[in-house]
């Protein structure tokens, strides 16, 4: 079966870049990305390709190449579904905020709506591909809905989870470690559907990297991969706290660990806490699934990864307050970086949101600078927590486009995202314009501690002993 038309429902951080790369590598396939969000589609169609809704290095050029040729962005969901032989579902699956499974289970409302729409519109057989991260066995639910509400059309459901990381999405898509395709490997139609999708990837991915499994293994592999990655970050973050009280340096510990080929060096950067749309949501989902099957110990094991992450964010904020003589009330604190990691404008679950919320509760005056995140998004993130009213958020937090202005007259700076540009600032100038002692809390171990200490900053980094000659190392408590 040769695919000529693809429809992707959901023009977000996953759907947009993934389809742009498929369109680039398969010029003979027409790829239409649809979304109910008109504003988002208009932005994807913006004549100035630098103004597409997602900031992702390398993406504008890929979009430019395909757009209007075989890559289209549209709000006409029905027509795109009707025309396509293959439909990717790439809609949001956030954690439920209501009802059973509130705060843990994935909300499959949007997935179900898509399935019902596909069933209503389709007049010929379709391959439906799950791209969004979904709880294991979602494909069964999709199949049921399509079967019972469709017009006798045949569907094959594939799971093809996306492993791209934001900020490196284009490179991850062009050179994936693996492509996972889960399908009905026991039937001829299932195998044909898998091979139709595999043919697309084979245009640029070596066949040896395309892995086919049954649907459930594929769905669960995605959740597990994210849980393992998040677990590494929480593990090194747990060690960072121990480093701070023992005088060990977490960067040195991570290096020593990473040189063990069984452990490897990636994902060992201690930080103020992981964020992003996936890690927390997927682990909560895993915990929920384990609990649903009565696997208490499995659930509790993975829950610790989240507990550790929340602790890391809280203790970072608490450290700022403690260091600023136990009060930040009325003090200006500058936050550099709001996105959940560098090279993205995505702020979902960013550690910055929680650290700042904590500081606002302590009546701090916050100034924020982020190279790519807009002020409206920052306010939206804080409003969503409902810790205080919207006016109070706007009154006590100021967003500026100039990092030097943001740092002026500040009591302390907190670096919460590892944007490269922060390293290149004129830190002498920043120091001169700050109140003294000029505190700097590096939540990413990004800046050069020695140079900044020489300038005069008092620096607190994650998992590092204070860089002063007379630094006192806390004695470990006696444990019986």
Which residue numbers are catalytic?
278
**Count of residues binding ligand ADP (CB under 6 A)?**
21
Do the beta carbons of residue 367 and residue 395 sit within 8 Å? no
194 Cβ contact list (under 8 Å, min separation 6): 158, 181, 183, 185, 212
Q: How far apart are CB 131 and ligand ADP at their closest, in Å? A: 8
Q: Which of 3, 6, 8, 13 binds ligand ADP (CB under 6 A)?
A: 13
Out of 19, 114, 233, 459, the only residue in the binding site for ligand UDX (CB under 6 A) is: 233
- Please name which of 88, 87, 104, 86 lies closest in space to residue 96, comparing C-alpha atoms: 104
268 touching ligand UDX, by CB under 6 A: yes
**338 part of the interface to ligand UDX, by CB under 6 A:** no
Q: Among residues 6, 7, 8, 11, which is the contact residue for ligand ADP, using CB under 6 A?
A: 11
**C-alpha to C-alpha distance for 410 and 399, rounded to whole angstroms:** 14
- Out of 1, 5, 27, 36, name the contact with ligand ADP by CB under 6 A: 36
Q: How far apart are CA 410 and CA 431, in angstroms?
A: 9
| Stretch near ligand ADP under the rule CB under 6 A, chosen from 35-43, 205-213, 328-336, 435-443 | 35-43
Question: Quick one: which segment of 11-19, 144-152, 197-205, 363-371 binds ligand ADP (CB under 6 A)?
Answer: 11-19
* DSSP strand pairing (458-461 vs 439-442): parallel
DSSP string for 42-72: HHHT-SSGGGSSS--TTHHHHHHHHBTTTEE
Q: Least separation, in Å, of the C-beta of 301 and ligand ADP?
A: 26
Does residue 77 touch ligand ADP according to CB under 6 A? yes
- Least Cβ distance, residue 377 to ligand UDX (angstroms): 16
Cα distance between residue 71 and residue 339, in whole Å: 28
Among 91, 139, 197, 373, binds ligand ADP (CB under 6 A): 91
Subset of 190-229 contacting ligand UDX (CB under 6 A): 226, 229
- The binding track of 189-218 with respect to ligand ADP, each residue x by CB under 6 A or -, is ------------------------------
Query: DSSP secondary structure string, 115-137?
Result: HHHHHHH--S-EEEEE-S---TT
| Tokens (6 digits) for 246 | 């023992």
Of the candidate residues 162, 219, 381, 442, the single one contacting ligand UDX (CB under 6 A): 162
Strands 412-415, 397-399: pairing is: unpaired
Closest CA relative to residue 16, chosen from 93, 87, 82, 72: 72
Which helix H or strand E contains 298, and what residues bound it? helix 296-323
Binding stretches for ligand ADP (CB under 6 A): 9-15, 34-37, 40, 77, 90-92, 110, 113-114, 132, 277
Binding stretches for ligand UDX (CB under 6 A): 162-166, 226, 229, 233, 267-269, 271, 274-276, 278-279, 340-341
């Amino acid at each position: 079966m040769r695919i000529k038309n693809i429809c992707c429902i959901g023009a977000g951080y996953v759907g947009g870049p993934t389809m742009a790369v498929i369109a680039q590598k398969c010029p003979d396939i027409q790829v239409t990305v649809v979304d109910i969000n008109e504003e988002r589609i208009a932005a994807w169609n913006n004549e100035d390709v630098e103004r597409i809704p997602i900031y992702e290095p390398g993406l504008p050029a890929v979009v430019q190449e395909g757009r209007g040729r075989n890559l289209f962005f549209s709000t006409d969901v029905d027509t795109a579904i009707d025309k396509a032989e293959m439909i990717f579902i790439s809609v949001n699956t956030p954690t439920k905020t209501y009802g059973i499974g509130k705060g843990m289970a994935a909300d499959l409302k949007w997935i179900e709506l898509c399935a019902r729409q596909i069933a209503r519109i389709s007049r010929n057989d379709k391959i439906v591909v799950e791209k969004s991260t979904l709880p294991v066995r979602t494909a069964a639910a999709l199949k049921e809905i399509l079967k019972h509400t469709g017009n006798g059309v045949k569907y094959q459901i594939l799971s093809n989870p996306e492993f791209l990381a934001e900020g490196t999405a284009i490179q991850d898509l062009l050179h994936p470690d693996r492509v996972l395709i889960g399908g009905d490997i026991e039937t001829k139609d299932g195998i044909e559907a898998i091979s139709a999708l595999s043919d697309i990837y084979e245009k640029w991915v070596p066949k040896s990297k395309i892995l086919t499994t049954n649907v459930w293994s594929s769905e669960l592999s995605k959740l597990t991969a994210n849980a393992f990655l998040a677990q590494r970050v929480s593990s090194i973050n747990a060690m960072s706290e121990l480093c701070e009280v023992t005088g060990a340096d977490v960067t040195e510990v991570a290096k020593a660990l990473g040189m063990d080929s069984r452990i490897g060096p990636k994902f060992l950067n201690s930080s103020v806490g992981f964020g992003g749309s996936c890690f927390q949501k997927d682990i909560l989902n895993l915990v929920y699934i384990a609990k649903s099957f009565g696997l208490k110990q499995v659930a509790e094991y993975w829950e610790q990864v989240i507990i550790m992450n929340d602790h890391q964010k809280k203790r970072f904020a608490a450290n700022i307050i403690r260091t600023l003589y136990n009060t930040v009330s009325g003090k200006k604190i500058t936050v550099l970086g709001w996105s959940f990691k560098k090279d993205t404008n995505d702020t979902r679950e960013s550690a910055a949101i929680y650290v700042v919320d904590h500081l606002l509760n302590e009546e701090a005056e916050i100034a924020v600078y982020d190279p790519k995140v807009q002020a409206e998004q920052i306010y939206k993130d804080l409003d969503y927590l409902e810790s205080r009213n919207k006016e109070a958020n706007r009154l006590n937090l100021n967003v500026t486009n100039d990092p030097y202005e943001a740092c002026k007259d500040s009591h302390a700076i907190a670096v919460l995202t590892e944007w490269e540009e922060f390293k290149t600032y004129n830190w002498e100038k920043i120091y001169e314009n700050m109140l003294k002692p000029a505190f700097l809390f590096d939540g990413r171990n990004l800046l050069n501690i020695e140079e900044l200490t020489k300038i005069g900053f008092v620096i607190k980094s994650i998992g590092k002993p204070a860089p002063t000659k007379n630094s006192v190392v806390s004695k470990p408590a006696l444990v019986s």
